Amino acid sequence: MAAVLQRVLMLVLCLELAVGSLRFEDRFQPNWAPDHVMYDGDLIELRLDNSSGCGFASKSKYLFGSVSVQIKLVEGDSAGTVTAFYMSSVGEGHDELDFEFLGNVSGEPYIVQTNIYVNGTGNREQRHYLWFDPTKDFHSYSILWNRHQILFMADNVPIRAFRKQQDTMLQLPFPDSKPMWVYGSVWNADDWATQGGRVKTNWSDAPFVSQFRGFEIDACEVGGMPADQRSDDGATERGRCADAETGFWWDTPAKATLSPHQVRQLKWVSRRYKIYDYCRDAARFVVKPVEC
């Protein structure tokens, strides 16, 4: 009996090790400056210097579900740099869901900018500080996307919810038909990223390194084409992914809206850490965006 139990435990351990050892190249590939993308197993380092930024993309595209990654951001003086984790379709009129981490001078906090593009139009930025230092350790960032809402979360705490409006007469924008790839990148944006572009990148501190690990994709895969192919086939898969009767967990009624606990969390984040909301920017939008 003891020998059988030992074999079972060894089998469980082997299965756990197999799951934990998922390699970067199993699901992703460098899509920009591959010589700046370093990876070993599940750990990826993206490097920015004065010659180039870099990035990676998933090998498959997805329509609805959840994507998550743990990121440790550039330490020290990161002014001018942007580390991004996002989903995007391709081509004219693309949809996109963005996490952008805006670097800052030493001692000043990172700013997390989220944005949503629908049919090629963005300008839906929100900005937050975080309640932890994202450069000292890895933290989880995730996007939940279904037919009803989009949630941006940090360490499983919602920092932004974007709801699909039910008033079809107004035709309010919501991304619900275009499969998206998953991307990560680091790049120089010192013309706008830090204090409106007033603080420039200090290249003497290069290379600037952001680390990614712990990718989780629990989403409906459409096709399986490499991310550098720009075709838009897979109508059958899109239909399956968008079908309300498929039984995917993200299509359950519980995921159609925030739970009471998530509502409290979002209010806490908004009250204490939100520093910008496009819906309240009267100087930028003379006419308030329809979804606001």
102 contacts: CB under 8 Å, gap ≥ 6 = 82, 110, 111, 112, 113, 127, 189, 193, 194
In whole angstroms, give the CA distance from residue 121 to residue 115.
10
Classify the phi-psi angles of 80: left when phi > 0, otherwise alpha if psi is within -120 to 50, otherwise beta. left
Contact between 119 and 95 under an 8 Å Cβ cutoff? The reply is yes
Give me the sheet containing 126-128, strands edge to edge: 28-32, 54-58, 181-188, 81-88, 96-102, 111-117, 126-128, 274-277
DSSP code at position 177 = S
Contact yes or no for 110/102 (Cβ under 8 A): yes
Q: Exposed, middle or buried, 21 (CB in 10 Å: 0-12/13-18/19+)? A: exposed
Helix boundaries (H) for the chain: 2-20, 24-27, 235-242, 260-273
The structure tokens listed for 292 are 């606001």
Matching residue, tokens 């909301």: 277
Task: Give the C-alpha separation, 46 to 56, whole Å.
Answer: 9
Question: What residues are labeled active site?
Answer: 96, 100
CB count within 10 Å of CB 252 equals 10
Instruction: Count other C-beta atoms under 10 Å from residue 15's C-beta.
Output: 10
